[in-house]
Every structure is written in C-alpha cells, then in structure tokens.
Amino acid sequence: MLIQEHVQPARDFLTAADIEFAAGDRLQGSEKMWGAASRALMAVAQRRGWQFGGHRQMQIAVNRLENEERLSGLRGGFQAAQLLHANFYHGFMEDFQIEESRALTRDFVGRILALMDTDTNTDG
C-alpha cells in the first residue's frame, strides 16, 4: 500500500468524525477519530520502515516518534485515540471525555501528518 493511501484517509476520517458527532452519533464519531489517528501513524511508520500492523506495534512507533523527534505529548494523543476506539465498542465515555479526547486526537493527527512533510525518506 502506498503511503498516500494512509494520509488521505486520515484526513477524511477527521472530517467524517466531525459529521458523525454533529449528527449525534458518538460511537461512529469515536471510531472515525481512531481511524484518523491510526492511519496517520501508519503513514509515518510505513515511510520509516517500521512495523505497524497491530496496536502494540503502533504503540512502539508512537514511543519511538516521541523520543526520536522530541515531540512531547504524542503518547497522550495516541492514548486518547485508543480510548475513542474502545468507546466505539463499549460506549462508556461521557461528553466531556469525548471532547477532550477528540481535541487530543486531532492534535496527534496533525502533528503526525506534519512529520510527513518534513520526513526525508522516500515514498513507498
């Protein structure tokens, strides 16, 4: 899969999440936020030649990015996205938790996608 095939869906999922939340669908909105975060992370991991097929591998990639790029707060953004993913299945989050997690996840996605602009590795 080409890297761009992760980048555009990440952006599209953010837009779709906003639409779902505006329509009152907290579960679908939560899952779309997770989709945005995971696809953005997949793009960077793929570009750098890292594994990204499962949650554990993605967590390792986030830790690596935070350390290598000195980007504090990436772990928290990814954890917020994971909470939203779990919320899709269990519907346990209150409105204030969703809003906080949405903001953290949106920031995470923006910061990850910004790395795509500065990364000097070749596209795959």
Torsion sign over Cα 9, 57, 44, 48: negative
What average pLDDT is seen over the chain? 92
Domain ranges of the chain: 4-118
What is the H or E stretch that residue 8 is in?
helix 4-22
Distance in angstroms (rounded) separating the CA atoms of residues 103 and 66 = 18
- pLDDT given for residue 121 in this prediction: 44
- pLDDT given for residue 122 in this prediction: 42
Q: Does residue 107 register a pLDDT over 50?
A: yes
Task: Give the CATH superfamily of 4-118.
Answer: Nucleotidyltransferases  domain 2 (1.20.120.330)
Percent helix, strand, coil in the chain, to 5, is 80, 0, 20
Distance in angstroms (rounded) separating the CA atoms of residues 112 and 106 = 10
Distance in angstroms (rounded) separating the CA atoms of residues 105 and 26 = 15
pLDDT in tens, 33-56: 999 999 999 999 999 999 998 999
